[in-house]
Amino acid sequence: MLKKITILLFFIISTNVIAQNVTWEKFIPGRLYKDEWANDICQTTDGNFVVVGTSEGMPGNPNNVIEVVKINGYGDTLWIKKYHPPNTTMSRGKGCCSSDNGSSVITGLAGNANTAFLTKIDINGDVVWNKEYSSFGITYDGLKVQNTSDGGYIVNGLDFIMKTDSLGNHVWHKHILDYGFSNFISLTISHSDEYLVIYDILSNPYERGVAKFDDNGKLIWKKVKPPNYNIPQVIKGLFSNGYLLMGIFSETLYGPSYIFTFKMNEEGVFSSYKETLISNRGDFFDGAVNIINDNKFVFVTGTQPQRDTQYCTFRIIDSSGNILKTTEIISIKQSIGKFRYRFCHSVLPISNGYIMFAGIGQIDPMGAIEDFYVVRADSNLFFQTVGINNNQNILPVRFKLYQNFPNPFNPITVIRFDIPKSSLAKIIVYDILGREVAILVNENLKIGSYNVSWPAPTGDSKEYPSGVYFYSLTVDGKVVDTKKMILIK
């Protein structure tokens, strides 16, 4: 009986470890023959995820079309759909939110006339209804769509905010010209079902602040940011009371970059302004931020595309401006104008501390084609990468092989190792009898800290049985270290 209990306890512990470490990155090649990029991600009520973006053309129509991909929690593609609103020649997918029964609602641009649309698609990606709003004087694309408490939707574009019912029927909209505004930058729903929008006025002097609208679209107040605060780019509601505002500024194009945050209460009073230096290379921020809790936020920055080395950086920051976690994805120019480039435009915290990121990626070493790119990271911003990943920000001083993570694992684990000088490196996996079962790395590597997945997410079709395995790091023919790992199925 004791032996049975021990085995059962080990199984429960192992299962929990596995369940808590489902991380990955995925390149989703849904293209027909040109580039595509993701702009937003949402979780549907069936527990899966919808990613919306744009694809450059389809047979018989070379213009942009809306692309929507549905994936599960392991990053497996469930379906890929292309949409083209009727009587249009150009369209783009920009935002999405969940709806009932595993369905979702997407927004963006429909046609050359810059007309906003809403489309509801069911759990299988089939269109339930489609609405376009040009007859209401809306002349630009919908940037984001959010659920409202009455089952409807609120959509914001650069020149409007619009409320619809649950069928996408227009209820009301407000245009920037109604208030002398120049742009609506970012929108969030208040804790009392009102709408807070960052606006700006392109005048002299320039003005940026927050406007509050009630559920009928009536302006309640507008508050100008304090003159000693920098210009916010995004507003997000905190879980308790109040709101987070955030932005970035750089001293020069390629110089020091600072992220800044401040808070606003329900009455529009600003406070707690903080600036934090995040890099010395001229990072940019396009509003990809979300709330983990009232004292912890996750956001994405990138570097200017003219640089030979580009960075997509995930960071977690607290309300005091302290950077708690950082993960950098490095893209190095392969040839003239060609990168293995990755950048994320949307951030979505989900259950158990995981965080989803969605954007654009090039896995082709020559950077020829861009695909949807999605990452599922854990609360430490760790995720399993595709292939060998070199973090050149870490310059090791000795050869080192790290313990794999997670361990025990199923289905994939990641092995990290350090190379302090250019060397011929090998990572070899052996079974418990000492037989070689996989060669993960066998190439000349430059200085850096590397990680590699096993089994490989792509290109490894072998079935490895449960059991104990060993992996070793060999450098220039000499074994540096060997470690044990356990595969459980």
Domains of the chain: 23-387 (2.130.10.10), 400-487 (2.60.40.1930)
**What's the pLDDT band for 17 if we cut at 50, 70, 90?**
very low
Helix or strand holding residue 18 (H, E): helix 2-19
**Mean pLDDT, rounded, for 332-356:** 76
Q: 332: which residues sit within 8 A by CB, 6+ positions away?
A: 308, 309, 339, 340, 392
Give the number of other CB atoms < 10 A from CB of residue 90: 18
**Mean pLDDT, rounded, for 152-180:** 93
**Mean pLDDT, rounded, for 2-12:** 35
Helix or strand holding residue 19 (H, E): helix 2-19
Residue of 96, 193, 185, 100 lying closest to 144 (CA atoms):
96
Asked if 480 and 399 touch (Cβ cutoff 8 Å), the reply is yes
Res 66 pLDDT > 80: yes
Residue type, 274: K
**What's the pLDDT band for 7 if we cut at 50, 70, 90?**
very low
**What's the pLDDT band for 113 if we cut at 50, 70, 90?**
low
**What's the pLDDT band for 393 if we cut at 50, 70, 90?**
very low
Token couple for 387: 């292939």
Q: Which of 383-387, 401-405, 412-416 has the lowest mean pLDDT?
A: 383-387
Cβ burial of 204 (10 Å; 0-12, 13-18, 19+) is exposed
Res 110 pLDDT > 90: no
**What's the pLDDT band for 328 if we cut at 50, 70, 90?**
confident
**Mean pLDDT, rounded, for 79-108:** 87
**Mean pLDDT, rounded, for 380-404:** 71
Token couple for 315: 């960071």
Residue holding tokens 């010209």? 177
**Mean pLDDT, rounded, for 138-166:** 89
Token couple for 339: 């990168």
**What's the pLDDT band for 427 if we cut at 50, 70, 90?**
very high
- The per-residue pLDDT for 371 is 84
Cβ burial of 427 (10 Å; 0-12, 13-18, 19+) is buried
- The per-residue pLDDT for 366 is 45
Q: 388: which residues sit within 8 A by CB, 6+ positions away?
A: 441, 450, 451, 452
Q: Which of 41-45, 108-112, 402-406 has the lowest mean pLDDT?
A: 108-112
Residue holding tokens 């709806």? 99
Token couple for 246: 């955030």
Res 85 pLDDT > 80: no
**What's the pLDDT band for 57 if we cut at 50, 70, 90?**
low
Half-sphere exposure (Cβ direction) of 396: Cα atoms closer than 13 Å: 19
**Mean pLDDT, rounded, for 93-114:** 88
**What's the pLDDT band for 143 if we cut at 50, 70, 90?**
confident
Q: Report the b/e string of 379-395 with b at 16+ CB within 10 A.
A: bebbbbbbebbbbeeee
The beta strands (E) that lie in 23-159 are given as 24-28, 36-43, 49-58, 61-71, 77-83, 91-98, 104-110, 115-121, 127-132, 142-147, 153-157
Residue type, 60: G
- The per-residue pLDDT for 336 is 44
- The per-residue pLDDT for 1 is 41
Asked if 283 and 302 touch (Cβ cutoff 8 Å), the reply is yes
Using CA atoms of 106, 111, 115, 119 in order, give the dihedral in degrees to the nearest 10. Answer: -20
DSSP state of 398: S
Map residue 46 onto helix, strand or coil: coil
Mean pLDDT across the chain, nearest whole number? 84
Cβ burial of 207 (10 Å; 0-12, 13-18, 19+) is middle
- The per-residue pLDDT for 86 is 67
Highest mean pLDDT among 147-156, 274-283, 321-330, 461-470: 147-156
